[in-house]
Structure 1
Amino acid sequence: MGHHSPCICGSLLSDDAKRIEKKKERQKKKRRSFAESEKTMNNAQKRVKSKESTIANNTETHPLQAEDGSFSSPSPKTITGSLTELPLIDGVERSDEYRKLGVLITHEGGDYPLVQSFEDAKYVFLLETSKLWSIAGPIAFNILCNYAINSFTNIFVGHIGDVELSAVAIALSVVANFSFGFLLGMGSALERLCGQAYGAGQIHLLGVYMQRSWIILLGACFCLLPLYVYATRILKLLGLESDIAELTGKFTLQVVPKMFSLAINFPTQKFLQAQNKVGVLASIGFAALIVHILKLFVFIRVFKWGVAGAALAYVVGWCKDGWKGLSWLAFKDIWDFVRLSIASAVMLCLEIWYFMIIIFLTGHLDDPVIANINGWEGMLFIGINAAISVRVSNELGSGHPKATKYSVVVTCIESLIIGVISAIIILVTKDYFAIIFTDSEEMRRAVSKLAYLLFFTMILNSIQPVISGVAVGGGWQGLVAYINLFCYYIVGLPLGFVLGYKTRLHGIWLGMIFGTFLQTLILVYIIYKTNWNKEVEEASERMKRWVGGDDPFPTTAPSSSTNDIT
């Protein structure tokens, strides 16, 4: 043993030395790997900045468009520079929070990666929330400001007398709302067209589409004029008291100029929304509200052209990429545009008029409080509706199926939360909130009794606009119009009549709630079964037809498949 001990010790020392050397080598490799990673991250950030600069300088190019102007099918490796693109690290994208957690998301060419864990879902939820409200916030604020003009008018008039309040409320929430819904619906055709064109890089088409919409909506205004001119006679035929009908007719004639301003306003808003230039809309809406309340400018108080004029000036001065001036192309294929506009209008009008019919049938046509409360919540969800429509159309145009699907899921969840909170507030304050609108004790008691029905209506109305926005962004207006017709007017209203034999008011409204619930259920199922990959392919094919001059406006149902993205 003693003779072999030096050899054994030498061998052990040699092994220790080798282990130490290997450890040092591993440490060196880690340091080199870390240095390379840092270098790669810096290079990635430079590439992203360079790409953003390129996109900013040349917004009319698109990754799907070849040099000859043709379009190729989207592929995971060619789609870049979209709204959903994140910083890249050698084919890997990660957030600061993901780096802390050590979770990596494989990059798939601008689209979201597959959500495979709770952390993935949380990250996508936060990112989509940020994108949603960056669009929905300004839009909703602008719409709320516009709606507040009506509400402030009702508030001031309401403290003069109940007859005056009823007359103004009917003029604004029934007569004007009829035309508002029709024009807004026709203008919403631009949400799909401009959104997908912007996502596909065809920026120059946006101005042409907007001009077509102006022409169509101005023509629609002339068709709606008899409703304003003969409002008094129509309301008397519907059984409204003579004194209220006379006052309503006089006020309605005075707001005719505003209807024509909406024909310019709505397409202009959609034009800006498609490009995510929505901050100016909020500023214009707030300014118009302040001016209206103070009554400083005659053209705001009398002609109601302030918002439309300011928005139009912004279009010409700031949106030079989409606005190329007036063009005769606005008259090209205008009938196809009319078809899509009418489908959009019918879809939205069937929704807006449904609630107004219920108010009329239940004898609460002259109850402005319910109309105002439901209207305030409705304006918020119109903003969310517009935002999800922009997100869906942009992402479909950019070739991002997962981003489209995840944005729909996140928006539905958040919209439902807002609806539940709003409904709870109404239920808790049911005996008090009517004070804002009227001094009449009788009207306050009537509103308090309706609060429970309004509670369920507001919850359903928080989901329904989101689904409608998805339909508009995807181009399914025709299908949704048929669904609305069936659920609202074939199921909801007849059921309300049956239930209303014993409990007139509550029965009719319960029928309305069931119709809305059925419509929401059907549309949720359709969206659940939608194959977003096929929707992207169809959007790409439509873009080829747009460039080629073929019919770009087929009103189709969404593609369904069990092989959808997950």
Structure 2
Amino acid sequence: MAMIATKEKHLFPGLRSSDSSRRDYGILPAPQFSQRFVSIHWEPFTQTFAGQLTELDLAAVSVENSFVAGLAFGVMLGMGSALETLCGQAYGAGRLRMMGVYMQRSWIILLITACLMSPIYIWSPPILTLFGETTEISNAAGKFAIWMMPQSFAYAMHFPIQKFLQAQGKVLVMAGISAVVLALHVFFSWLLILKLNWGLIGAAVTLNVSWWLIVIGQLLYIIITKSDGAWSGFSGLAFVDLFGFVKLSLASAIILEFWYLMVLIVITGLLPNPLIAVDAISICMNINGWDAMIAIGFNAAISVRVSNELGAGNARLAKFSVLVVSLTSVSIGIVCMIVVFATRGYFPHLFTSSNAVAEETTKLALLLGFTVLLNSLQPVLSGVAVGAGWQSLVAYINLGCYYVFGLPAGIILGFTFGFGVMGIWSGMIAGIVLQTLILVVVVALTNWNKETEEAESRIKRWGGTAGGEN
């Protein structure tokens, strides 16, 4: 036991490529592995409580979360993911101080983006109507969206902080803060939405406060502890080379599958009897969102691990980490798929009191199970792309697979052939399958030694040589 503990001591991220202990033991260190538990989304819990109100309230929360807040979430998460490449590789190369500068650059860009996206919240009813949602659902979602505007600015602050801390393996800190806020969120959701009958206003209050508590808690930790030297205060360097940072951030945003799921909800609103269809698919997306907490955690873990190893010049460990996380994530995905199939007649009633919605949800559970399985591998491959800095390549792959192939296929199956929401979702699955197969080939053919050279070049371009400051 003592020998094992001694070995593990040398496996933490940030050690240099000269450390022979890291070359000898090709295993993924526990701190990185545990990142899969850090990603928490409040929206699924809020939708659970909203489902105990009315069908219209559930549809309003679902559409706002999926389209309006979902758009902001996707933009902020995607653009913030640029830090996974830069902070991860800087940490692996020992350039700690530049990590704080990168985070500040990301704050500037994302806060400006949040301001630019504010009109979407304000004018969401006509926008949703333009996309084919019914007037009833659009107006209800629009009222809820107005209350949710503070959330977008919390996103702008949160995601750069999250990537900054993940790159250093500060997962226990993140998990602790998230766990405390999660407990408060669940309690106050029940209190405000159901007990005090605040309805959707209560849902908005709890969501906004929860996101800002996360931001404040993590920011206080960084400022107080200096984050082991990665935070040295605000710097004028944050305003340097913002245009190059914007380009990398935009490419990172495009590679998210999240956009595809958001479009799925909107298109479903065009079907006959959209209230039942939107509620049913929203419940399935809610379950998928819970599973995505694990998948996004694996995404972060492999992204940080790959970027750390490439920054440190460890090509072999980067490659081995991809294999370990992929196999682990797929194994969990298989278990989750089995759970979905086994409980398909029961879990819909946790989200709705409508028998019609529950029956429709049970029908969709078959597709949900396969989606859960696919989403166990796809985020891992996207994480590899972010960690290695392949955002532009994967952006093109995603655009082709999702919007040139998958989305048209879903529309044809759903509307032309009359398969409804089952057809729309089947098209989405086809797009994910194609994208996943292409990414598997790309990763399998990767020359990891060449990627370490690219990482060194990127570090020099964005903040000095690998052998610089510690």
TM-score, scaled to structure 2: 0.87
Give distance in 2, aligned partners of 1:302 and 1:185: 20
- Counting only pairs closer than 5 Å after superposition, residues 15-414 of structure 1 correspond to structure 2 as 79-81=17-19, 86=21, 110-112=22-24, 124=26, 127-128=27-28, 131=29, 134-137=31-34, 139-144=35-40, 147=41, 149-295=42-188, 303=209, 304-318=211-225, 319-348=227-256, 351-362=257-268, 363=271, 364-367=277-280, 368-414=282-328
| 1:136, distance to aligned residue in structure 2 (A) | 4.5
Residues 481-502 of structure 1, C-alpha deviations (whole Å, 9 max, x = no match) = 0000111111112222333322
| 1:302, distance to aligned residue in structure 2 (A) | 5.2
Give distance in 2, aligned partners of 1:541 and 1:236: 48
- Note if contact 2:98-2:463 (Cα within 8 Å) is conserved in structure 1: no
Give yes or no for the alignment of 1:509 onto 2:425: yes
- Note if contact 2:410-2:428 (Cα within 8 Å) is conserved in structure 1: yes
- Note if contact 1:173-1:371 (Cα within 8 Å) is conserved in structure 2: no
Q: Which has the higher contact order (CA 8 A, sep 6+)?
A: 2
Q: Per residue, is there more helix in 1 or in 2? A: 2
Residues 403-449 of structure 1, C-alpha deviations (whole Å, 9 max, x = no match) = 00010011111111111111111111111111110111111110111
| 1:48, distance to aligned residue in structure 2 (A) | 11
Give yes or no for the alignment of 1:437 onto 2:384: no
> Residues 316 and 338 of structure 1: is their aligned pair in 2 closer, same or farther, counting only changes over 3 Å?
same
> Residues 80 and 287 of structure 1: is their aligned pair in 2 closer, same or farther, counting only changes over 3 Å?
same
> Residues 343 and 302 of structure 1: is their aligned pair in 2 closer, same or farther, counting only changes over 3 Å?
closer
> Residues 532 and 301 of structure 1: is their aligned pair in 2 closer, same or farther, counting only changes over 3 Å?
closer
Residues 184-206 of structure 1, C-alpha deviations (whole Å, 9 max, x = no match) = 00000000100000000111101
| 1:548, distance to aligned residue in structure 2 (A) | 4.6
Amino acid at match of 2:304: V
Give distance in 1, aligned partners of 2:366 and 2:161: 38
**Aligned residues, how many?**
437
Q: Where do 5+ consecutive residues of structure 1 fail to align?
A: 1-40, 64-78, 87-109, 114-123, 550-566
- Note if contact 1:159-1:438 (Cα within 8 Å) is conserved in structure 2: yes
Amino acid at match of 1:360: V
Give yes or no for the alignment of 1:463 onto 2:377: yes
| 1:283, distance to aligned residue in structure 2 (A) | 1.0
Amino acid at match of 1:536: T
Give distance in 1, aligned partners of 2:238 and 2:436: 36
Amino acid at match of 2:48: I
Residues 91-126 of structure 1, C-alpha deviations (whole Å, 9 max, x = no match) = xxxxxxxxxxxxxxxxxxx3247xxxxxxxxxx4xx
Give distance in 2, aligned partners of 1:443 and 1:496: 21
Give distance in 2, aligned partners of 1:245 and 1:542: 45
Secondary structure of the residue aligned to 1:159 is coil
Partner of 1:553: none
- Note if contact 1:112-1:403 (Cα within 8 Å) is conserved in structure 2: no
| 1:317, distance to aligned residue in structure 2 (A) | 1.4
- Note if contact 1:208-1:330 (Cα within 8 Å) is conserved in structure 2: yes
- Note if contact 2:410-2:426 (Cα within 8 Å) is conserved in structure 1: yes
Amino acid at match of 2:299: N
Secondary structure of the residue aligned to 2:309 is helix
> Residues 300 and 310 of structure 1: is their aligned pair in 2 closer, same or farther, counting only changes over 3 Å?
farther
Give distance in 2, aligned partners of 1:344 and 1:412: 21
Amino acid at match of 1:337: F
Give distance in 2, aligned partners of 1:515 and 1:206: 35
Q: Percent identity?
A: 46
- Note if contact 1:167-1:366 (Cα within 8 Å) is conserved in structure 2: no
Amino acid at match of 2:186: I
Q: Where do 5+ consecutive residues of structure 2 fail to align?
A: 193-201, 272-276, 466-470
| 1:142, distance to aligned residue in structure 2 (A) | 3.4
Give distance in 1, aligned partners of 2:412 and 2:126: 30
Residues 195-242 of structure 1, C-alpha deviations (whole Å, 9 max, x = no match) = 000000111101000000000000110111111011112122233233
Residues 66-88 of structure 1, C-alpha deviations (whole Å, 9 max, x = no match) = xxxxxxxxxxxxx334xxx53xx
Residues 336-363 of structure 1, C-alpha deviations (whole Å, 9 max, x = no match) = 1111001101112xx1121222233234
- Note if contact 2:48-2:350 (Cα within 8 Å) is conserved in structure 1: yes
Give distance in 1, aligned partners of 2:315 and 2:115: 41
Secondary structure of the residue aligned to 1:438 is coil
Secondary structure of the residue aligned to 1:305 is helix
- Note if contact 2:44-2:289 (Cα within 8 Å) is conserved in structure 1: no
- Note if contact 1:391-1:407 (Cα within 8 Å) is conserved in structure 2: yes
Which stretch has the larger CA shift, 162-171 or 526-535? 162-171
| 1:507, distance to aligned residue in structure 2 (A) | 2.8
> Residues 397 and 302 of structure 1: is their aligned pair in 2 closer, same or farther, counting only changes over 3 Å?
closer
Give distance in 2, aligned partners of 1:473 and 1:156: 37
> Residues 465 and 430 of structure 1: is their aligned pair in 2 closer, same or farther, counting only changes over 3 Å?
same
| 1:320, distance to aligned residue in structure 2 (A) | 4.4
Give distance in 2, aligned partners of 1:414 and 1:225: 39
Give distance in 1, aligned partners of 2:31 and 2:388: 21
- Note if contact 1:111-1:401 (Cα within 8 Å) is conserved in structure 2: no
Residues 467-518 of structure 1, C-alpha deviations (whole Å, 9 max, x = no match) = 0000000000000000001111111122223333223333332222111111
Residues 286-309 of structure 1, C-alpha deviations (whole Å, 9 max, x = no match) = 111222233399986654411101
